[in-house]
Amino acid sequence: MDKKEFGALALSMGVRDAGYYDAIRSIAAKITSRIQEGTFVVGVSGAQGSGKSTLATLLAIVLRETDGLRADVLSLDDFYKTREERLEMAADSHPLFAVRGVPGTHDVALLNLVLKTVRDGQAVTCPVFNKAEDDRKIKSRTLGSLDVLVLEGWCLGALPQPESSLEKPVNDLEAVRDPDGRWRRKVNGALASNEYQQAFDCDMLVFLAVPDMDSVLKWRLQQEQGLSSGAGVMDEGGIREFIMYFERITRAMLEDLPKRSDITLFLNEGHDLEDYRPQ
């Protein structure tokens, strides 16, 4: 796939920034230089609306069509617990767990089983989450035997925070609906668990660094407007509250992951690639 073909493909997916071609070719070259026996798992991490899914899809296509590798994409979002399971968590643990997104609301045991099966070179059945309905679809999908799996997810690579940093709320959601810090401590505990950290243990990590939380709001709203109607579709006020669930971990990741990721793509307010830094 040459630059012109890539540009046309990227444009069809809403990417107008020509800098993505060089960045993705560089990521692909790093993968091919490190790939060995078994499936190579690449993590793509970044805040809501940062373009993880698009980057992951473009990378998989380039790996297939240019490098001749069997590559596919898996989303952390598809492993959200069902709506019924989250409502049970809300009743038993904390009301804020009714909302999907934070650590604790994923079926990481199933995710780790899928990842192990993929790494063993076997085909595997995966769930599919419908964001418009805020629940899993009845129909699943199948991943075949792969050389490269691109796993994308908003909190991929995140580490738990020290207890002292959990004391002060970071936004109105935490201050009003989690005044005693019980929910955020449970979220932090889930993130610290062996199950989450095992799932996040990728062979390579790519991080999309957003410029600020205002951009997250704007870009996440654009994503929501692209969803078909359904019970889970939110208006601007709903999106504004929704990203507060993610803000604490997102801010911590922006501080930490550029230092630990194999590759960081820094985005500007126009959603273009401002800088690209391989480690």
Query: What is the DSSP track for 146-210?
Result: -SEEEEEETTTT--PPPGGGGSS-SSHHHHHH-TTSHHHHHHHHHHHSHHHHHHT--SEEEEEE-
3-class DSSP state of 243: helix
Please provide the average confidence, as pLDDT, over all residues in the chain.
92
Q: Are 163 and 213 in contact (CB under 8 A)?
A: no
Tell me the domains of the chain and their CATH numbers: 3-278 (3.40.50.300)
d(CA 24, CA 258): 17
Assess whether pLDDT exceeds 80 at residue 161: yes
Using 50, 70 and 90 to split pLDDT, how confident is the model at 226? low
Both structure tokens of 58: 């473009």
Using 50, 70 and 90 to split pLDDT, how confident is the model at 177? very high
Assess whether pLDDT exceeds 80 at residue 235: no
Of all residues in the chain, the percent with pLDDT exceeding 70 is 96
The mean pLDDT of 155-170, rounded to a whole number, is 96
Q: What is the pLDDT of residue 159?
A: 97
The mean pLDDT of 249-261, rounded to a whole number, is 96
Assess whether pLDDT exceeds 60 at residue 217: yes
What size, in residues, is the chain?
Answer: 279
In tens, the pLDDT along 18-61 reads: 788 889 999 999 999 999 888 999 999 999 889 999 999 999 99
Of all residues in the chain, the percent with pLDDT exceeding 90 is 74
The mean pLDDT of 158-185, rounded to a whole number, is 97
d(CA 121, CA 261): 26
Q: What is the pLDDT of residue 271?
A: 87
In sequence order, the 6+-apart residues with CB closer than 8 A to the CB of 253 are 45, 47, 155, 157, 158, 207
Using 50, 70 and 90 to split pLDDT, how confident is the model at 261? very high
Q: What is the pLDDT of residue 229?
A: 54
Q: When comparing pLDDT for 152 and 220, which is higher?
A: 152
Q: What is the pLDDT of residue 40?
A: 97
The mean pLDDT of 80-86, rounded to a whole number, is 97
Using 50, 70 and 90 to split pLDDT, how confident is the model at 227? low
Q: What is the pLDDT of residue 187?
A: 98
